[in-house]
Amino acid sequence: MSQPDPPSEVMPRHVAIIMDGNGRWAQSLGLPRIEGHRRGAASVRRVTELAAQWKLEALTLYCLSSENWKRPKTELEFLMHLLRQYLIDERQTLRDQNLQLRFIGRLDRLGDEVIREVEMTQRLCRDNTGTELVLAVDYGGRDELTRATRSIAERVQNGSLRIDQISEETIAQQLDTRGLAEVDLMIRTGGDIRISNYLLWQISYAELWFTTKCWPDFGEDDFRDAVEDFASRQRRFGGLL
């Protein structure tokens, strides 16, 4: 398969996506909600392949929020099954595409079977040097900042850090995303225009792009449109051009 050219000379380094609308997409077609999640996995494959081909530094996908535990047990069990199956089915593809793999969030609350596949896939990809695929699982921006604050407080308490040494960099280094470029472009599908507790620190100066398309319908053309729109914007970061 020929590799598509990057959509613009001005490319974001780090793209984050809120993959919303799986359940609504399925219900609009008279299908069970879990079918929407199943079909959404195909969109994950499409955007991941494009991110690798366009040589983005990082692609972060919001797979499961810390608030999603409120959903019905059967749906949550299916989401865990889907994540585990994705790691098994896509393991060789991730390696072949030279993708690095990182997870952010609370992996400690996932089942042993999922954690085993996470660790196995990360071992297989540990020598890769291309785009970093970041999967946000059981993730919440407020939870991440709370955990970071506790870690900094512990350092102050044990004397390894003075209060006057705390800086933005100190906080950034305690986040799950430490070492990654800040998000340049945040995409949300599904029609809602909100952030939903996603990467609250990291999107401070991100360009936001929303679409009414539900995630299972999000394709290459949509990803291109978002990146091209990003390239057309003037980013001043609080200054003047």
pLDDT per position as a tens digit, 9-67: 899 999 999 999 999 999 999 999 889 888 999 999 999 999 999 999 999 999 988 88
- Look at residue 51 in the predicted model and tell me its pLDDT: 96
Q: What is the pLDDT of residue 4?
A: 67
102 and 133 Cβ atoms separated by less than 8 Å? yes
Tokens describing residue 233: 């914007």
| pLDDT band for position 235 (cuts 50, 70, 90) | confident
Question: Could you tell me which residues are annotated as the binding site for Mg(2+)?
Answer: 20, 207
What's the predicted TM-score (pTM) here? 0.92
User: Which residues are annotated binding-site positions for substrate?
Assistant: 21-25, 33, 37, 65-67, 69, 71, 188, 194-196
Name the average pLDDT for the chain. 92
Residue 69: the pLDDT is 81
Q: Which of 20, 138, 176, 184 is catalytic?
A: 20
What is the model's pLDDT at position 67? Answer: 82
Q: Which amino acid, residue 221? A: D
pLDDT at 240 over 80: no
Active site includes 68?
yes
Kindly give, in sequence order, each residue whose CB lies less than 8 Å from that of residue 118, ignoring residues fewer than 6 positions away. Answer: 87, 103, 107, 110
pLDDT digits (tens, 9 = 90+) for 189-224: 999 999 999 999 999 999 999 999 999 999 999 999
DSSP 155-190: HHHTTSS-GGG--HHHHHTTSTTTTSPPPSEEEE-S
CATH 3.40.1180.10 corresponds to the domain 14-141+184-231: yes
Q: For 76-100, what is the mean pLDDT?
A: 91
